Structure 1
Amino acid sequence: MGKSLISKPIILLLLIAVFCLTLIQAQETHVHEDGTVHTEEDHAAEESVSKSSSGHSHGSQSCDIEPMLNYNMSFRIGSVFIIMVTSAIGIFAPIILYRISPPKNGSIRDWTLTAGKFFGTGVIIATAFIHMLPEALERFGSECLSDGWHSYHAFGGLFCMLASFALQIIELAAISNLDAIARKNTEAAAAAAAAAASVHTLNMSAEESADGKLGEKNQIQHEVNHHEHDHTGINEDGHVHSAGFLENQQSLRNIGTFILELGIVMHSIIIGITLGTADNESFNTLFIALIFHQFFEGIALGTRVNDLNCKSWKKPILMGLLFVCMTPIGIGIGIGVRSTVNPRSSILAQAILDSLSAGILLYNAYVSLMSIEINHNVGFRRSSLARKIFCFMCMYLGAGLMSVIGVWA
């Protein structure tokens, strides 16, 4: 069930991206056939690039393919391994710290992992608001894109909204599927209990008194009710049993964690491509900023991987390696296509992916991380005031640091 649920958002996002890329390619072909020359737009774009080269480097692309002079290949290859190590430390440190032995409440490791968890929540929120959505809006406003993309001013918000709607549908489908499974278990348990009761009734001795028969039936009915309680997880008085409700909650938390990694992975590929295609002037600043960026995102994802409560190391290691490899893969792609990529198509693709990633992270941040883990978490509400203040300060610190890094990356 988990793989099918995760594959649906990936397919949906890819279809949207392919549609938009096809549309912009058709528009660019039409312009070329009319003989329109974009000299003024290209000149304006080059001026904006020269002005922004000292600032945010994600938008530092011209509208035409230009050869890069003095491209330091060895430094970029070295950056692949440096970012890979930094990302690995960020994501595997909280995983190893948690899995060595589960921390006791109030211990130093418990406070450390709690700090990392809420720090990561702030990082994820700031990543969406500071690093993704503004970048998408900026790229959709680029003069390198055709007039069709300038006819509507909110394409970035539109794709962000579509991604959040898609996640809501997926989450609803997951809940409905879990409810159906619980209902089938309840019906199967009731049928088994009824069959056992009928067999027991046939074997009853004829000499049993009416009171005995009545007491036996009451006992059987009690067993049926108790069996139903074990499978549904909800008793008549509203008591929640861990075999039902809590298992469903864990399944939903797992789905949310997988989708969260999807959004982070998409963003990691984008920033890797940006670093691989950056010129020497902006590379150093962007590279240093991305080291901290990947380290903090690794902490954010690693603390959420711990919530999966996996019995083995296999799934946490695979999820960690996926995150570690994505930015280096993006750097490799950037190095390979730096002299052949169409800047217009590249700007559009990054704008769409940034918008979709922002929608994924915002939905997870507010629905899963803040609402469910904080406001609707009985354990958090009953915790001490000092612990609550500590958690919120860690979350605000994570958001603040990622916002500061947004000056350079």
Structure 2
Amino acid sequence: MVAPKILDDDVLNCGSGGGAHTYTGLRIASVFIIWAGSSFGALFPVLARRSSLVNVPHSVFDFAKYFGSGVIIATAFIHLLDPAIDELSSPCLGAAWQEYPYALALALFSIFAIFIIELLAFRIGTAKLKKLGITHDAHGHGVGSVSAHGPEGASDAIREVGKTVDASDVENEEVDESAAAAQVIGVAILEFGVVLHSVLVGLTLAVDPGFKVLFVVIVFHQLFEGLGIGSRLAYLRMPARYNWVPIAAALFYGLTTPIGIAVGLGVRTTYNPGSARASAVSGILDALSAGILIYTGLVELLAHEFLFSRDMREASNGKLAYALGCMCTGCGLMALLGKWA
């Protein structure tokens, strides 16, 4: 009979002691460094698309959009779901946690919860548009229809409404706001999943003993993730009085990881990322965030950018190959970062 393996206290750390106290100055500096990198990644696509002073080729925006889609999908599987499985199967947790794949169940719950929320939102929006005599097409295929999925469909719909619907200016404004609201809901769901993950990343960075390697990886991680968020925000078509929404969302994303680092620095004398409570909390949040990003990445981004996009259906083979290449590059690089963080 093989004797059970005895885990060293350094490996199985279930106590309530604090995290690492090394590199204090660099950890404090990381708050501002990561804030700058995250904010740049999220803000650059938004500001560059709006600015007439910066002449950024359209192909650059296409790269950021498709690259960002790949980043988000890889984040869901490699940086959220896998850690959630490890955290919720930690030996620090009770035996009941080992009897069921809770991480996968929570991710599944999150996927269906987001689907049901969007389904209800679309039904309410469709009923509202029907009163204006406008048909609703979830994929944005029909002429004169309003698409509820993604910036690409909604922006087409806004342009089509002005051409095909005989309505008053007030009605057209209401239609524009309905299409804009659909886009905001989609991006808000995406950002919500990323924000939870970013706060946990910052909290871990503040107390983790392997700070140097993790710090470098997270700088790139947040930059790439910021490009993914920013590229979606840049393509939002908002009524004029809501033009501040994409900028505010980008700024908010830039603050999330620094907030996590600051909180971690404040509680590092008592917070232990290896404790049972920390494993349970971070595992649950990671699993829920993974479900959000899996649904958003595969349905809202992948399917609607390629399968249901009018532009992509009519695109040349070269453009399609370029878009797929950008997406696979983003996914591959983000997945590779999972080797270190």
Contact in 1 for aligned 2:88/2:97 (Cα 8 Å):
yes
**CA separation in 2, counterparts of 1:102 and 1:384?**
30
CA 1:375 to 1:261, structure 2 compared with 1: closer, same or farther past 3 Å? same
**CA separation in 1, counterparts of 2:47 and 2:39?**
11
Partner of 1:269: 199
Partner of 1:407: 339
Partner of 1:344: 276
The one-letter code of the counterpart of 1:157 is: L
**CA separation in 2, counterparts of 1:168 and 1:308?**
21
**CA separation in 2, counterparts of 1:337 and 1:368?**
37
Contact in 2 for aligned 1:128/1:357 (Cα 8 Å):
yes
Give the Å deviation of 1:101. Answer: 4.3
Among 296, 318, 331, the alignment partner of 2:224 is 296
Give the Å deviation of 1:365. Answer: 0.7
**Cα deviations by residue, 1:279-306 (Å, 9 ceiling, x for unpaired):** 2xx0001000000000000000000011
The answer as to 2:323 corresponding to 1:391 is yes
Give the Å deviation of 1:71. Answer: 3.0
CA 1:351 to 1:67, structure 2 compared with 1: closer, same or farther past 3 Å? closer
Contact in 2 for aligned 1:272/1:330 (Cα 8 Å):
yes
**CA separation in 2, counterparts of 1:74 and 1:313?**
38
**Cα deviations by residue, 1:218-253 (Å, 9 ceiling, x for unpaired):** xxxxxxxxxxxxx4479xxx6435337985655433
Partner of 2:155: none
**CA separation in 2, counterparts of 1:157 and 1:249?**
33
**Cα deviations by residue, 1:261-282 (Å, 9 ceiling, x for unpaired):** 0001010001011011112xx0
Among 97, 113, 116, the alignment partner of 2:48 is 97
Task: Determine helix, strand or coil for the equivalent of 2:11.
Answer: helix
**CA separation in 1, counterparts of 2:188 and 2:136?**
25
The one-letter code of the counterpart of 1:141 is: S
Give the Å deviation of 1:96. Answer: 1.2
Contact in 2 for aligned 1:171/1:252 (Cα 8 Å):
no
CA 1:366 to 1:329, structure 2 compared with 1: closer, same or farther past 3 Å? same
Give the Å deviation of 1:47. Answer: 4.9
Quick one: percent identity of the two aligned structures?
35
Contact in 2 for aligned 1:45/1:144 (Cα 8 Å):
no
CA 1:338 to 1:253, structure 2 compared with 1: closer, same or farther past 3 Å? same
CA 1:171 to 1:77, structure 2 compared with 1: closer, same or farther past 3 Å? same
345-354 or 174-183, which deviates more: 174-183
Give the Å deviation of 1:73. Answer: 2.1
**CA separation in 1, counterparts of 2:70 and 2:262?**
29
Partner of 2:157: none
Task: Determine helix, strand or coil for the equivalent of 1:44.
Answer: coil
Partner of 2:237: 309
The answer as to 2:211 corresponding to 1:283 is yes
Instruction: Tell me which stretches of 4 or more aligned residues in structure 1 moved more than 6 Å.
Output: none
The one-letter code of the counterpart of 1:321 is: L
**CA separation in 2, counterparts of 1:396 and 1:275?**
28
The structure where helix makes up a greater share of residues is 1
**Cα deviations by residue, 1:359-401 (Å, 9 ceiling, x for unpaired):** 0000001111011121011111101111111110000000111
Match runs of 1:9-408 below 5 Å: 44=7, 46-48=9-11, 62-67=13-18, 70-101=21-52, 109-152=57-100, 154-186=101-133, 231-232=134-135, 239-241=143-145, 242-243=160-161, 250-279=180-209, 282-310=210-238, 311=240, 313-341=243-271, 343-408=275-340
Contact in 1 for aligned 2:78/2:338 (Cα 8 Å):
yes
Q: Which runs of 5+ in 1 are unaligned?
A: 1-39, 50-61, 187-230
CA 1:67 to 1:111, structure 2 compared with 1: closer, same or farther past 3 Å? closer
Larger radius of gyration: 1
**CA separation in 2, counterparts of 1:149 and 1:102?**
56
Task: Determine helix, strand or coil for the equivalent of 2:77.
Answer: helix
Contact in 2 for aligned 1:120/1:299 (Cα 8 Å):
yes
CA 1:45 to 1:117, structure 2 compared with 1: closer, same or farther past 3 Å? farther
**Cα deviations by residue, 1:103-157 (Å, 9 ceiling, x for unpaired):** 9xxx9611000000000000001001111100000111111111111121x1111
CA 1:379 to 1:344, structure 2 compared with 1: closer, same or farther past 3 Å? same
Partner of 1:217: none
CA 1:112 to 1:84, structure 2 compared with 1: closer, same or farther past 3 Å? same
CA 1:291 to 1:239, structure 2 compared with 1: closer, same or farther past 3 Å? closer
Contact in 1 for aligned 2:42/2:229 (Cα 8 Å):
yes
Task: Determine helix, strand or coil for the equivalent of 1:308.
Answer: coil
Task: Determine helix, strand or coil for the equivalent of 2:271.
Answer: coil
Give the count of matched residue pairs. 304
Q: Which runs of 5+ in 2 are unaligned?
A: 146-159, 166-171
TM normalised by structure 1 equals 0.69
**CA separation in 1, counterparts of 2:9 and 2:79?**
23
